[in-house]
Amino acid sequence: MAAKKQHGDGRKIVAENPKARFDFAILETLEAGIALTGTEVKSLRSGKATIKEAYVRIDDNEAWILGMNISTYEQGNVFNHDPLRTRKLLLHRKEINDLHAQVTRKGCTIVPLSLYFREGRAKLTIGLAKGKDIGDKRQTIAKRDVQRQIDREMKQRD
């Protein structure tokens, strides 16, 4: 099984987190690199990763992603990686400082949105997010239902 989708800008999406946009209001997005081992990259290229339960934490002026599951590489040997290990995100110092300030002052959190390859390098789109309450979630569901109805009507017209 290879990567899921190929976009026009050369991105091959490996994993997405659609629940993040439902549970959180995304205020800002950033692209971050990930420090990976060889077997992790090979496993990602075969599309075996999930980011549904992952989150980002900033410790000692470094960004780390926790809870991201990259399955072990099938042809790996005793040097295979731990699927749930903490991985370092590669961001500029200013970006890390800005994210840390937002998280501490405004009560926001940092969630991963999508994991993909761009120009041969593994990248992660992270979002600065604020939790939605029940009313906001209901509003999101209502908008989605209305959009589906509009799409159905347009499809029947054509």
The total domain count for the chain is 1
Give a yes or no: residue 138 inside a domain: no
Helix runs in 35-82, H state only: 38-45
Query: For 119, left (φ over 0), alpha (ψ -120 to 50), or beta?
Result: left
pLDDT class for 18, splitting at 50, 70, 90? confident
For 103-141, the pLDDT digits (tens) are: 888 878 899 999 999 988 999 999 998 887 777 778 888
Please, is 113 exposed, middle or buried when counting C-beta atoms within 10 Å of its C-beta (0-12, 13-18, 19+)? Answer: buried
For 38-95, the pLDDT digits (tens) are: 888 888 888 888 898 888 999 999 999 999 988 888 777 777 887 888 999 999 999 9
Q: pLDDT at position 137, please? A: 77
pTM of the model: 0.75
Give a yes or no: residue 141 inside a domain: no
Give a yes or no: residue 145 inside a domain: no
Does the pLDDT value for residue 102 go beyond 80?
Answer: yes
Of 53, 70, 67, 55, residue with least CA distance to 122: 70
- In angstroms, rounded to a whole number, what is the distance separating the alpha carbons of residues 32 and 91? 6
Collapsing DSSP to helix, strand or coil, 35 comes out as coil
Give a yes or no: residue 143 inside a domain: no
- Domain membership of residue 16 as a residue range: 5-132
- In angstroms, rounded to a whole number, what is the distance separating the alpha carbons of residues 110 and 57? 7
Does the pLDDT value for residue 153 go beyond 70?
Answer: yes
Please give the share of the chain, as a percent, with pLDDT higher than 70: 94
- In angstroms, rounded to a whole number, what is the distance separating the alpha carbons of residues 148 and 143? 9
- In angstroms, rounded to a whole number, what is the distance separating the alpha carbons of residues 44 and 38? 10
Give a yes or no: residue 115 inside a domain: yes
Query: What is the CATH classification number for the domain harbouring 49?
Result: 2.40.280.10
Give a yes or no: residue 14 inside a domain: yes
- In angstroms, rounded to a whole number, what is the distance separating the alpha carbons of residues 157 and 119? 41
pLDDT class for 6, splitting at 50, 70, 90? low
Give a yes or no: residue 15 inside a domain: yes
Give a yes or no: residue 140 inside a domain: no
